[in-house]
Amino acid sequence: MAVSAAAVFFDKDGTLVDDVPYNVDPARVRLAQGAERALPAIAAASYRICVVSNQSGIARGYFDAAALARVEARLREMLAATGVALDGFACCPHHPDGVVGRYAVACACRKPAPGLITTLAAAGAIECRRSWMVGDILDDVEAGRRAGCRTVLLDNGDETEWRRSPERAPHYVARDLAHAAAIIIDGGRA
């Protein structure tokens, strides 16, 4: 299969949806402000929409993968209501400090590692160098850069660990999802 598609990989909590820590209640999932306009515009520009999310609540024993699947289903419904398909959804259930043995490990998928992005890219014939990673913290930026994507940091106040390095330097900073969409659609010139 030839790699030809481009995608925008979104972090879930605090980026695509309002941040409710360890939330697995589909009724509490709300699209972030501006998502209902930004996502259709990005999809219309021929980008696939994908979600990549660290979900350490599984490793910590707060919820199981089935609970997260219900959140994914709700997110797919919400995006479909805006006319957008969710083309990929990948979550990392791991955390080295977890209490659930099989998930209490270091892994290659937990952001800032690029594994979630590269796995979805391989499965969907997505070319990372033509794609974008949008997130609200520098771990998202680092994962995107390490996968070969251009990156947008949403400047919404969620970053708390300002560890600087070239891999953690976003290509662009956006004030909200509408601004991020404009940057992406304009190829970084907005």
Residue 136: active-site member: no
Active site residue 139: no
pLDDT band at 190 (very low <50, low <70, confident <90, very high): low
Provide the residue ranges of all domains of the chain, joining segments of one domain with +: 6-185
Closest CA to 88 of 75, 103, 99, 107: 75
What is the per-residue pLDDT across 96-154, written as a single tens digit (0 to 9) for each? Answer: 999 999 999 999 999 999 999 999 999 999 999 999 999 999 999 999 999 999 999 99
pLDDT tops 70 at residue 3: no
Q: Is the pTM of this model over 0.85?
A: yes
- From the number of C-beta atoms within 10 Å of its C-beta (0-12, 13-18, 19+), residue 152 rates as buried
Give the span between the Cα atoms of 4 and 23, in whole angstroms. Answer: 35
When mean pLDDT is compared across 26-35, 113-122, 181-190, the lowest value belongs to 181-190
Q: Which residue has better confidence, 157 or 184?
A: 184
Average pLDDT over residues 165-181: 95
Helix (H, G, I), strand (E, B) or coil at 33: coil
- For residue 125, which phi and psi values (nearest 5 degrees)? 55, 50
How far apart CA 79 and CA 36 sit, in angstroms, is: 8
pLDDT of residue 135: 97
The domain defined by 6-185 folds into Rossmann fold (3.40.50)
* pLDDT at position 160 over 80: no
pLDDT for 31-70, tens place per residue? 999 999 999 999 999 999 999 999 999 999 999 999 999 9
Q: What residues does 90 pair with on adjacent strands? A: 52
